[in-house]
Structure 1
């Protein structure tokens, strides 16, 4: 099973996409060099060439999952909007994307709770901290307008998103981004000068 000669970066992406596909269908414990090689249509030796072990594959898969799910608002987000509109827009973008990323989010939970060690939890915790930090500029503007401590508001916004993430994984049929956004809108309307 020899694949077409591809550049190294493209081959690595193919292998990680195959790892993600295997994990989405069978959980992270189903990710092995053998299952990934079969999914990618590559030899086991070629997968070992790029990732020396199952653990190497899992680390690369986790990095990919964190990259695609925990992007958060970009720098300068909402600067042209009122604080309330920036809050509503930021939260809408974050909450509305959860349903389409349900499988990937479930895999992150699997990494965090099934592989209970700092080797996997450390990168997840760091990514969550960076994600929350990207909300800081919007939270700072809102907290100033509302007279609330910025760190407390940022923590509350992050907790709302984390809770919504757990909800979409646990109860996807009951999850409602519009319902949560209604709560956020109500909070935004309470900001003086809205």
Structure 2
């Protein structure tokens, strides 16, 4: 009896998912095509058919990872609201998503700090620049009329989120996004009375 034939894009997705899960367990340096194939229930030849080489598999994994993790966007439903409200909402969305994305964030850090491939490092740098750029417009509105610059505030926001990501990886039981958000609220514009 022959099983259901899986479409190539589904098989490719399954291999990428297996590569991500396996890399999360053993790290990028120890990841092998044979491990990925076993985890995806395919032959190593099929992994090579879809990705060509281990290096190309890692590049595809990184591209997929960057697409799914560094994707901040200003909420459309809050347009027209005060800039601080919109920025706070963006930060809240990112912070609350960290625990669920812990494995992907950890793998992203592995690519950032362990990969010796300059193309991988460059891809992470470009993705982080786009991520920071997503915050710049609303940050520019938040600091309008002050001596701060929107780009500097966006860099600060991303640094906060990166620090929170590290905390989710190394001390998930102490990660409290609501406490971070409460601290930010205290730093934000205060109502005039």
- TM-score, normalised with respect to structure 1: 0.89
Structure 2 portions without partners, runs of 5+: none
Aligned to 1:46: 46
Q: Tell me the equivalent position of 1:118.
A: 118
Alignment CA distance shift 1:49-1:3 (3 Å):
farther
Would you say the 8 A contact 2:137–2:150 is kept in 1?
A: no
Deviations 1:65-100 (A, max 9, x none): 111111111575742321121121111111111111
**2:155 aligned partner:** 155
Q: What displacement does 1:42 show?
A: 0.8
Change (3 A) 1:116 1:183: farther
Instruction: Provide the residue aligned with 2:170 in structure 1.
Output: 170
Q: Is the 8 A contact 1:3 1:42 kept in 2?
A: no
Report the RMSD for the aligned CA atoms in angstroms: 2.2
Residue in 1 that maps onto 2:136: 136
* Alignment: residue pair count: 192
Deviation at 1:147, TM superposition (A): 5.3
Structure-2 residue corresponding to 1:97: 97
Q: Are the counterparts in 2 of residues 28 and 111 from structure 1 also a CA contact under 8 Å?
A: yes
Q: CA deviation at 1:193?
A: 6.7
- 1:81–1:55 CA distance, 2 compared to 1 (3 A): same
> Which TM-score applies when normalising by structure 2?
0.89
Q: Quote the residue 1:13 is aligned against.
A: 13
